[in-house]
Amino acid sequence: MSTILVIAEKEIREGLRNRWVLATTLLLATLALSLTFLGSAPTGNVGASPLDVVIVSLSSLSVFLVPLIALLISHDAVVGEMERGTMLLLLSYPVRRWQVIVGKFIGHLAILGFSTLVGYGCAALALAFTGGGDIGRESWAAFASLIGSSVLLGAVFVAIGYLVSALVGERGTAGGVAIGIWLVFVLVYDMALLGLLVVDQGRTVTGGMLNALLLMNPTDAYRLINLGSGSAGAISGMGGVADIATLAPAALLAALLAWALVPLAAAIFVFSRREL
């Protein structure tokens, strides 16, 4: 365990040195604060608290931004170090390959988690101190769920980035594949699913099939967790989809967890059999 933590600490130090932590935190905080102060106009119309509107705005932002940040951090975690020759040096120490992957994963997830907590937390604190209306416990619980699920979504794409990095032979290839994966999961998949539902008109795609199709995309599971119920569901319009899909929050969280663990295990398997 100490070896894994040492590798995780190394990744965090490199993130600090390369300004990843600072840049990510400032980006998330700036966007979150902008949405907080500019995006609360609809609250009077829908009867929701300002924090509920912020949750909807940040969830919509996170679907695009968090996976992209995670892939940018992780896509060269293996192949980049192999090209620089530092991987051979690292493996010359008494460390196993699976410990390298797990340690890197913990370090990158710590960077992403810290940036998300501080960035989005600034928005909540600003709203609380500026007197943004009566904010109940349910809204604060939903906001905490937003932060936790955003970190879990980041873990999914960090793991996918590791798998890509373990499979390809060049950093440039890894970057191109990572951007392609981001486009498919964040944009293309949902457009194709929407087109399928419009064409099908409920003839073939049943509720159970829709559940399976939604769980095949981690960003859809993330959307349903944060936008599928309560005031957020009413504001975002995702409440109707959640009613049709009938997926429990526990099932959605389990799907995200599986999306993180399976690619991570696959990355460990591929890297353990790769020639350096």
Contact 37, 124 (CB under 8 A): no
3-class DSSP state of 57: helix
What does the domain layout of the chain look like in residue ranges?
Answer: 2-272
Q: Which amino acid is at 244?
A: I
Residue whose C-alpha is closest to residue 175's, from 245, 44, 80, 63: 80
- What is the predicted pLDDT for the residue at 142? 84
Q: What is the pTM of this model?
A: 0.89
- What is the predicted pLDDT for the residue at 195? 87
Cα 206 from chain centroid (whole Å): 28
- What is the predicted pLDDT for the residue at 238? 57
Residue ranges of the chain with pLDDT lower than 70? 38-49, 131-134, 202, 228-245
Question: What are 243-247's contacts with CB under 8 Å, separation 24+?
Answer: 244/207, 244/210, 245/207, 245/210, 245/211, 245/214, 246/207, 246/211, 247/211, 247/214, 247/215, 247/221
- b/e for 154-167, b at 16 or more Cβ within 10 A? bbbbbbbbbbbbbb
- What is the predicted pLDDT for the residue at 233? 52
Taking the C-alpha atoms of residue 234 and residue 149, their distance in angstroms, rounded to an integer, is: 20
